[in-house]
Structure 1
Amino acid sequence: MPEVKVANLSKRFGDNAVLRDITFTIADGEFFTLLGPSGCGKSTTLACIAGLERPTGGTVAVGDTTFAGAGTFVPPEGRNLGMVFQSYALWPHMTVAQNLAMPLKIRKVDRREQDTLITEALAKVGLAEYRDRYPHQLSGGQQQRVALARALVYSPSVLLLDEPLSNLDAKLRDQARAWLKRLQTELGITTVYVTHDQDEALALSDRIAVMSKGDMVQIGTPQEIYETPATAEVAAFVGRCNFLTGTKTGPEEVRLDCTGQSITVPSSSVEGAGDVGGRVTVAVRPERLEIVSTGRAGVNVLTAQVLTSSYVGSRHEYDLRLGDHVIQVESNRPGLTGEVTLVVEPEACRLYPSTDALPEDVAALTTVSH
């Protein structure tokens, strides 16, 4: 399977710039995810790769073939790319086999070869015995597999998936996610996946590209995106995160606004976070905060007040008041109330310049009135 190259891609609808200078390369056989909130440009990027949208600028190439750019534009049917839409887009009046036959007929595949290819594609997705059923006779998960089989039936060079699991309920989505990853690994097909679901992206991807407002913010492995987010916005979007504002009082020290205390931060998180005396934001994941016995002393020990607690099966989740901030903590300790002591290991902290703006809904939830 060939690699996918997108360089300096831009797309405008009138005066609205939907994509700005998007550049990335997807390796042969890689599972690459475009992740971001609604309206960030991820589906438009996928549509430009598929040929459903004509880019305003930049290039799209698969292997040695340029599909868009430099005066070239290859229509969707000339790209040999398989695509699964969010709605599945199955023909309701056609059987499963007839739905799979449509792209083969367009490509003028011999009828006997069509039957062989359909049988093989349905076997790959575990639906060989459903070939004569109609879409309304299938569950949502089965319809999703039919749509995937239709995208695979003509052996595409690249598989494009636009939020294909979003219509499934939570339990079925988890099962489909695991199944899809196994199938993609077995086939070794280069895959471009679009989603706004962070857990989905982390579980499925070899690499993730986080997008925001038409820009590419960070590209990295799931571990890099989660553990070392490039901006506060990425930290806020991928997983849960606490954000505390303060002043940088030393090379590895920040005085927090909410408590007036100073905490130590690792030097590895300080790069690009501004000079001593500057305003910064400290980001800490809920699972990296430790609730310990009251009275413990040491580096980065804070006192907080329990506001709410929730039991979610594998852990307890607490909302704590820390000065005038609300922070979230995950713990295996049940039934905590009143005043508690927190330990924040320096390595758990990520530092960002105060100009690294947070989404409004995240910023609004971090402060409480006295």
Structure 2
Amino acid sequence: MPELAVKNLKKQFGDNTVLHDNTFTIEDGEFFTLLGPSGCGKSTTLNCIAGLERPTGGSITVDGTTFVDQEKGVFLQPEERNLGMVFQSYALWPHMTIAKNLALPLNIRKVDKAQQKTLIHDALDKVGLADLSGRYPHQLSGGQQQRVALARALVYSPTMLLLDEPLSNLDAKLREQARAWLKRLQTDLGITTVYVTHDQDEALALSDRIAVMSGGHMMQVADPHSIYERPATPEVAAFVGRCNFFQGKVEQSSGNVHTVRLEANGEAVHVDADLDVAPGQGVTVAIRPERLEVVPAGSEVAGTNRLDTEVLTSSYVGSHYEYDVRLGHQVVQVESQRPGLSGRVQLVFEPAGALLYAEKVELSAEERDLLTVS
């Protein structure tokens, strides 16, 4: 049976519905990430699991124990759920030593003092801080404080670990290191983990599965490779990684290969997609910047789709070059290993390198400004 089963989870604050009947399961030992922008409902979902929020509807069950069932009036208090939680702020008591911070949840559970010393040492040893138990939080770096918060969540052997953006206060380099360390620790412990983040790279690197959320809905739940390579909706494609979107109309289809006439420049492209679309239907073609090859005009480079464009800007970012190019009235983002391109160029891509959606993407005013040129 699944470690955690959430069914028809709903949460309202007054007239505002922030979670819409979401259903998902998390397997024993899985690293499961709730990913999405601010206000999408990911932290509210985590808080419902933790017992910090009471759902408006639905049920939550862990290992056969019902935490919440609104229909039956069941609601276990947070302290009865035996879950470990790490908050974004770490929530360490500044006037207590590290050892005393870890002793707090053990005191609540009435663990005797002799056993406390062993449990505290073991928890700090897991996070590599056993020799710092006598220090105070202000004497530690941000990364060390984050580890202490994690040790405190682990000290009483919880059945599950809940992490609410625990790395967001760290600088970029330290965050990268902490991410790798956290994944190793979770794998070694084999503890089921529910992780909340808005950072797509973090989600892809850490997770066994990801739930991409938007507006209180779960748009797609899948492994990282599927989320990135086969996003279920344009919204998922736009949020996870960068993506260029082109409006167009289907001209014809032959099996899974569809000919689409682009609105941006009037040219036709071929897209390989398992999608049922009809001639004349409006669709969205999506292509990630790294799936596009940019070459000087007239180059002898193989490729089914070739689009005439013009370089607007060029940037060197270390591992590759990034180009903004003009395609009709639209700006297209491209990643390339080719340096110094300018003027007229061509975009080349294979039909399988693009995604096709039987819907049109509605861009915000800010996105339209970024992706269109006069």
TM range (shorter): over 0.9
Partner of 1:104, secondary structure, is helix
Correspondence for 2:23: 23
* Residue deviations 1:83-116 (CA, integer Å, cap 9, x gap): 0000000001000000000000000001000000
Taking the TM superposition and a 5 Å limit, the aligned residue runs for 1:291-370 are 291-295=294-298, 296=300, 299-358=304-363, 360-369=365-374
State the alpha-carbon separation in 1 of the partners of residues 169 and 213 from structure 2.
22
The answer to whether the 8 A contact 2:273-2:355 is kept is: no
Q: Give the match for residue 156 of structure 1.
A: 158
Q: What CA distance in whole angstroms lies between the structure 1 residues aligned with 2:364 and 2:219?
A: 14
For residues 239-278 of structure 1, what are the structure 2 equivalents within 5 Å?
A: 239-251=241-253, 252-268=258-274, 270-271=275-276, 274-278=277-281
Matches within 5 A, 1:40-51: 40-51=40-51
For residues 22-62 of structure 1, give each alpha carbon's deviation from its aligned partner in whole angstroms, at most 9, with x where no partner exists: 11100000000000000000000000000000000000111
Q: CA deviation at 1:276?
A: 1.6
Structure-2 separation of matches of 1:130 and 1:170: 24
Distance 1:113 1:100 in 2: 13
Distance across 2 between alignment mates of 1:286 and 1:68: 44
What is the alpha-carbon distance in structure 2 between the residues aligned to residue 359 and residue 207 of structure 1? 29
Specify the alignment match of 2:56 in structure 1: 56
- Cα distance in 2 for partners of 1:363, 1:230 equals 22
C-alpha distance in structure 1 between counterparts of 2:366 and 2:203, whole Å: 22
Residues of 1 paired with 2:177 and 2:355: CA distance?
33
The equivalent of 2:199 in structure 1 is: 197
User: Residue 341 of structure 1: CA displacement?
Assistant: 1.3
Corresponding residue number in structure 2 for 1:37? 37
Structure 2 gap ranges (5+)? none
Whether 1:281 and 2:284 are equivalent positions in the alignment is yes
- 8 Å contact kept, 1:121–1:152: yes
Residue 44 of structure 1: SS of its match in structure 2?
helix
Partner secondary structure for residue 239 of structure 1: coil
Letter in 2 for 1:233: E
Q: Percent identity?
A: 69
Q: Unpaired runs of 5+ in structure 1?
A: none
The alpha carbon displacement at 1:293 in A equals 4.2
In the aligned structure 1, how far is the partner of 2:15 from the partner of 2:240?
30
Work out the CA distance in 2 between the residues paired with 1:302 and 1:317: 18
> Aligned letter for 1:286?
P
Q: Distance in 2 between matches of 1:166 and 1:141?
A: 11
Matches within 5 A, 1:105-184: 105-184=107-186
Q: TM-score, normalised by structure 2?
A: 0.95
Q: Which amino acid is the alignment partner of residue 207 of structure 1?
A: R
Give the distance between the partners of 1:267 and 1:225, measured in 2 at CA: 16
Q: How far did residue 355 of structure 1 move?
A: 4.0
Change (3 A) 1:231 1:360: farther
Cα 1:29–1:363, aligned 2, differ >3 Å: closer, same or farther?
A: farther
Whether the 8 Å contact between 1:4 and 1:27 is mirrored in structure 2 is yes
Amino acid paired to 2:337: N
Moved more, 350-359 or 33-42: 350-359
Aligned partner (choices 77, 80, 84) of residue 78 of structure 1: 80
Residue 289 of structure 1 contacts residue 342 of structure 1 at CA under 8 Å; is this kept in 2?
Answer: yes
1:361/1:353 CA distance change after superposition, 3 Å: farther
Letter in 2 for 1:47: N
What is the alpha-carbon distance in structure 2 between the residues aligned to residue 92 and residue 275 of structure 1? 64
